[in-house]
Chains A and B, each alone.
Chain A
Amino acid sequence: AQSVTQLGSHVSVSEGALVLLRCNYSSSVPPYLFWYVQYPNQGLQLLLKYTSAATLVKGINGFEAEFKKSETSFHLTKPSAHMSDAAEYFCAVSEAWNTGFQKLVFGTGTRLLVSP
């Protein structure tokens, strides 16, 4: 079964600093990988996804992630943090079910704190 590990339940950065949120996956087949963001009192919103095209994926709000097969990683980065980036971030991998459908397997999330 596929799985996702997000290192660090909390990450703190200063405004303007680099954001790096780590995600490692386990998959027996070429994976589809996703990053979602959840702002307080809201549902999840897709930031970006990797579906076996370019390994460097650009998303919304200046975020990007690089798929590295050799490291089984899909880390999320942003060059300069804004206060509005404070939220919880979830990495997910797509997994096939016996019925032929697929589901998302989520990590436990990383809360990003941005200080002035």
Chain B
Amino acid sequence: ETGVTQTPRHLVMGMTNKKSLKCEQHLGHNAMYWYKQSAKKPLELMFVYSLEERVENNSVPSRFSPECPNSSHLFLHLHTLQPEDSALYLCASSQNPVGTDTQYFGPGTRLTVL
């Protein structure tokens, strides 16, 4: 399998549930990202990892918890979410977290919080 994959593609959860989103990149990249895409809003960058270390946390609520166990895998752990957290969550990777490097995106996980 090539590129960036995400599982699950769709997730419905209650406000008291705990779930995790998974992302895997097969490109040999050093940087990985989580984005939130909500209707009629620009993509919001949530977290950036470089060489498995978190390098930025873009003021994201603590109910979102990222984990990067190695350079190929990225998780987003979710707990006690709110309905306004319903969105498409996109994972991306790039060779390095620098301006000229192209980011490659996965297909996203469509999250619905009831």
| A residues at B contact (CB < 8 Å) | 4, 9, 32, 34, 36, 41-46, 49, 51, 90, 94-97, 99, 101-109
The 9 closest A-B pairs by CB, nearest first: A43-B105, A94-B99, A102-B99, A101-B97, A106-B43, A44-B105, A32-B99, A106-B42, A51-B100
Partner of A101, one of B98, B102, B103, B106: B98
Q: A41-B107, A49-B102 are in contact. Are A101 and B42 (CB under 8 A)?
A: no
Q: How far is the CA of A106 from the CA of B44 in the complex (A)?
A: 8
**Contact indicator B56/A103 (Cβ below 8 Å):** yes
List, in ascending order, chain B residues with CB within 8 A of A49's CB.
Answer: 100, 102
**Contact indicator A43/B108 (Cβ below 8 Å):** yes
Extra inter-chain contacts (18) besides given A94-B100, A99-B55, CB under 8 Å: A9-B40, A43-B4, A43-B6, A43-B92, A43-B106, A44-B43, A44-B92, A49-B102, A51-B99, A94-B99, A97-B56, A101-B50, A101-B97, A103-B48, A105-B42, A106-B42, A106-B43, A108-B42
- Interface footprint category on B: 20 to 34
Q: How far is the CA of A45 from the CA of B100 in the complex (A)?
A: 15
Q: A43-B4, A94-B99 are in contact. Are A101 and B56 (CB under 8 A)?
A: yes
As a 0/1 sequence over residues 85 to 100 of chain B, the CB contacts with chain A under 8 angstroms (1 = contact) are 0000010100001111
Q: How far is the CA of A106 from the CA of B56 in the complex (A)?
A: 17
List, in ascending order, chain B residues with CB within 8 A of A95's CB.
Answer: 99
Q: How far is the CA of A70 from the CA of B13 in the complex (A)?
A: 49
**Contact indicator A43/B90 (Cβ below 8 Å):** yes
Q: Which of B1-56 contact A (CB under 8 A)?
A: 4, 6, 40-43, 45, 48, 50, 55-56
**Contact indicator B98/A102 (Cβ below 8 Å):** yes
List, in ascending order, chain A residues with CB within 8 A of B100's CB.
Answer: 32, 49, 51, 94
List, in ascending order, chain A residues with CB within 8 A of B48's CB.
Answer: 101, 103
